[in-house]
Amino acid sequence: MADKLNQVAIRMIEQPPLLSKEPMDSPEAAIRVMQEFLSEMDRELFCIVNLQSDLKPINMNIVSVGALNQSLTHPREVYKSAILSNAAGILMIHNHPSGNLAPSKEDIYITDRLRQAGEPLGIPLFDHIITGREKEYFSFQERRTLSGNSPHFVSDLEELRIPRMVAETDRVREQISGYASDPVSSSTRTLPMPGKDMDSILESLKAGVEELFTSERYADYLKTMAKFHNYSFNNTLLIAMQRPDATLVTGYKNWQSMGRQVKKGEKGITIIAPAPVKSKKQRKVLDQEHRPVFDEQGNPVLEEVEVKIPRFKAITVFDIAQTTGEPIELLAPKELQEAVNDYDLFMRAITEIATVPIRFDEISSGAKGYYHNVDKEIVIQQGMSESQTIKTAIHESSHARLHDKDLMESRGEEKDRLTKEVEAESVAYCVCSALGLDTSEYSFPYIAGWSSGKNMKELKASMDVIRQTAGEMIDELNDKISELVEEKQKEKLIPAMEAAGYRFDELESTKEQLRFIPDGVHQISGVMLAGSWGEVQEWLDQVIDKDSFDAERIERILYPEQYKKTSEEMMYDNEGDRFAIYQIKEHTQSESYRFLGMEDLKKKGISVISSDYECVYSGLLLHSDDLNTLYSMFNDDPPADFKAHSMSVSDVVVMNRNHELHAYYVDRFGFTELPSFVSEKQMELLDNWNPKPFDILDDSSCISFYAAECSEFPVLGEVHYDLTLTEAFEAYDRIPDNRMNGIKEIGFNLKDGSDWEGLFPLVTGEKIDKELINSIPGFRENKLVQEAVSRAEKILERRHQEKTRSDASKTDMKKEEKKQAKKEDMCL
């Protein structure tokens, strides 16, 4: 690679025609140097020019050579030469031998990907320039397609704007809170035509529409539309023109009523609001049959009425980023955000709101999906990634809503193929953007061609169709996801509440108030009311944190992965005082003596067969519990999570008290001990023991984990490789804190053959940067990585709970020691 770099560097700096000592501070300057070289190529070349801080070129590197208009590029190859050259920044230049300068979806995607890859390296991407055979070019920076700051000339290293490090805790807190207290504010742009009269605003809107379809701002407008889909097209465009990053807007007084104040000096956003004018006019009086009433002279009787004449006026609103004060919930509830990452739930929501059935099949044409106008169904290519499947489903659902042949005929509509694609793709972009799905793959290079020749009325009509359809789908998806999330919560939380001793009162519960009735054990606590299932979850977690008697039962429902053994198995393994209730299985030999007393069994010569019994309930044994209290509990008012029949004759109770196991037959009067039942059950459990099922995270050929002393440079200091996730946490704990004044780290080593394989941090300083991991498509859609993230989150949550309990215990001990010391002092 060094020879190759030297060779290209010589061509760039030492030899004509690539000799250049002038700064490449504009696309024209770059084209002057590179055009002659690139115009001779019949294949697409992807070139990187490494630049000094004064924007003068260091060298040029040809990263890849591809077929016509199709070169392949990897960020690793791009930044390798930049790092070795100590570049202050890079310039991307590649040719389209066809002469078509419009950037493809791949061009836009790789540009954004390289820009993101350069940020943590401190090597910014200044521009991406596409050139043809002449001196014409397309500059991402000039067209505002490239995010970030424009390059600028500096003569002093001190002038370089080095990115500021942001505390990880602040970034994570901002990501997970879902609340905005004092967001960072950007500036509000001025409308093309100054003035707040309606004529000026309409002129600004006209200019905005022209710019919208003749520049790269179409996708930005769609993002704004996704956030304000309940606003009119005019107001959405006005917001996008003045403040495209706005998230929540309202008037000055409304912000005050919500406990927030507009910052001093902030410039408002101008939008249009209804301002109907009241007027009086005369109209004919009608009788009950809606016929005119006449006076004695035969003239119609008139009455004076007040009417409202539609009018509009300009008003000023402010974005939440322009205010300070009480936090306002901006994002969707946590459950909705999590649901977006739940592929099965999300696809179910899309399927249920779709106007036609959706099915998966092999599509021979190579298309990702299609809407069939005759069969009235959506077909999606099977085997695609989850992300691509969701986007295709949304796109084709848009076609089904907008472009069904019969519906269009009934509405008297005719649309060409390109219009249909623009509408469907735009709706899909809006929906994906509103729900937080990745939209980096979308591009609209054809939008200028589509809009040319259309008048303002036609363009507004199409945009309004897109806005209305996207708004309907966003609202319907939000409602359906909320409904499905609630169903999923109920499936998990109702059993957990039963484990806590409360039955869900479905008849008396409403959406605003959930009602839970206590069982006999918890009757003294009374009825429990909750405003949402989220509150129920919080209450259950609090019960677990208190380490109460019910904590284990609740944890077994909510966090089953924390327990390797059942309560029954723990009883036989002498792990605490426990009990278990056994009842006769159906369709077994022992059914013949169900509900018979021991005396009757002896008369018939029948023995109790332990293998015919199954455990129907097991739990912790209180100090006050005995056979009689258990019999009373499981007869009079059994626990809410007890689903078997009440404790009856022929049942068996096993108790482990102080490591002594005894089994008792529930007899007609009292209980009869069964000496051999315990040993037989222990042998049965041993015989039925199955090895732990295969764990995908234990397959080190696909993914392994490491624990490192230093997160910044894992290869320095103590590091342990090729571990399971559990082993990595154990190794992490063994590494002393602050040995190198660094932060300890657990990471994963992906070995799936993809572009993303290799080492990557998972847990740094007891935190997971989930936002960073999920920002990388190769990790976001990888089941191994997502499973690792999920398990690591649960392990960290459990560690936090244990630490909290330990700290509380230490505090109690200190209080007790002080109390005891005080007593001793008083005695003295």
What does the block give as tokens for 496?
Answer: 């957990």
The answer to whether 270 and 242 are in contact (CB under 8 A) is yes
The answer to whether 97 and 133 are in contact (CB under 8 A) is yes
Strand segments, DSSP code E, in 443-545 are 502-504, 514-518, 528-530
What counts of helices (H) and strands (E) characterise the chain?
26, 29
* Integer Cα distance of 61 and 49 in angstroms: 6
Residue 130 pLDDT = 86
Inter-CA distances, 476 with 409, 420, 482, 671, Å: 25, 22, 10, 60
**Sign of the dihedral through C-alpha 194, 197, 203, 207:** positive
Residue 148 pLDDT = 47
Half-sphere exposure of 1 (CA within 13 A, CB side): 11
Inter-CA distances, 544 with 168, 529, 640, Å: 29, 19, 18
Angle between helix 551-558 and helix 533-545 axes, rounded to 10 deg: 130
Note the Cα 516 to chain centre separation in Å: 31
DSSP β-bridge partners for residue 660: 657
The answer to whether 309 and 279 are in contact (CB under 8 A) is yes
Residue 15 pLDDT = 37
Inter-CA distances, 776 with 112, 165, 755, 756, 773, Å: 12, 20, 11, 9, 6
Residues of the chain with pLDDT under 70: 1-21, 39-43, 65-74, 98, 105-106, 133, 143-186, 214-216, 328-340, 443, 547, 687-701, 715, 738, 740-741, 805-828
**Sign of the dihedral through C-alpha 822, 826, 827, 828:** positive
Residue 13 pLDDT = 37
The answer to whether 229 and 471 are in contact (CB under 8 A) is yes
HEC assignment per residue over 238-300: HHHHHCCCCCCEECHHHHHHCCEEECCCCCCEEEEEECCEEEEEEEECECCCCCECECCCCCE
Angle between helix 218-227 and helix 233-242 axes, rounded to 10 deg: 120
* Integer Cα distance of 88 and 119 in angstroms: 12
The answer to whether 613 and 590 are in contact (CB under 8 A) is yes
Angle between helix 386-402 and helix 417-434 axes, rounded to 10 deg: 130
Q: What is the DSSP letter of 594?
A: T
The answer to whether 520 and 646 are in contact (CB under 8 A) is no
Listed residue (740, 542, 558, 726) closest to 641, CA to CA: 558
The answer to whether 293 and 287 are in contact (CB under 8 A) is yes
Angle between helix 343-353 and helix 456-499 axes, rounded to 10 deg: 130
* Integer Cα distance of 512 and 792 in angstroms: 34
CB atoms under 10 Å from CB of 16, counted, come to 8
Residue 143 pLDDT = 64
* Integer Cα distance of 744 and 32 in angstroms: 50
Task: For residue 756, give the 3-state DSSP assignment.
Answer: coil
Inter-CA distances, 522 with 502, 530, 637, Å: 8, 17, 10
Residues 6+ apart with CB under 8 A from 730: none
- From edge to edge, which strands make up the β-sheet containing 660-666? 613-620, 578-584, 652-657, 660-666, 671-673
* Integer Cα distance of 319 and 365 in angstroms: 47
* Integer Cα distance of 9 and 631 in angstroms: 88
Degrees to nearest 5, angle at CA 726 with 724 and 731: 90
Note the Cα 583 to chain centre separation in Å: 45
Q: What is the DSSP letter of 312?
A: E
H helices present in 320-415, as ranges: 334-340, 343-353, 386-402, 405-411
Listed residue (65, 73, 117) closest to 95, CA to CA: 65
HEC assignment per residue over 674-726: CCCHHHHHHHHHHHCCCCCCCCHHHCCCCEEEEEECCCCCCCCCCEEEEECHH
Inter-CA distances, 16 with 49, 55, 172, Å: 16, 19, 51
Listed residue (576, 582, 565) closest to 620, CA to CA: 576
* Integer Cα distance of 697 and 703 in angstroms: 7
Inter-CA distances, 518 with 486, 526, 642, 730, Å: 22, 6, 13, 41
The answer to whether 650 and 595 are in contact (CB under 8 A) is yes
Q: How many Å from the N-terminal Cα to the C-terminal Cα in the chain?
A: 83
The answer to whether 381 and 410 are in contact (CB under 8 A) is no
Task: For residue 469, give the 3-state DSSP assignment.
Answer: helix
- Exposure b/e, 109-124, CB count within 10 A at least 16 = b: bbbbbbbbbbeeeebb
* All domains of the chain in start order, with CATH: 2-159 (3.40.140.10), 186-275+314-329 (no CATH), 277-310 (no CATH), 334-483 (no CATH), 500-561 (no CATH), 564-687 (no CATH), 697-803 (no CATH)
Place of tokens 């179409």: 218
Half-sphere exposure of 461 (CA within 13 A, CB side): 8
CB atoms under 10 Å from CB of 647, counted, come to 21
Place of tokens 């966003």: 474
Calculated CA dihedral for residues 710, 715, 718, 720, nearest 10 degrees: 110
Residue 376 pLDDT = 94
Half-sphere exposure of 277 (CA within 13 A, CB side): 7
* Integer Cα distance of 491 and 318 in angstroms: 42
Peptide linkage before 310 cis (omega within 30 of 0) = no
Residues 6+ apart with CB under 8 A from 813: none
Half-sphere exposure of 511 (CA within 13 A, CB side): 4
Identity at 159, one-letter amino acid code: E
* Integer Cα distance of 337 and 434 in angstroms: 11
HEC assignment per residue over 403-427: CCHHHHHHHCCCCCHHHHHHHHHHH
What does the block give as tokens for 35?
Answer: 């055009």
- Measured in residues, the chain has a length of 828
* Integer Cα distance of 129 and 151 in angstroms: 14
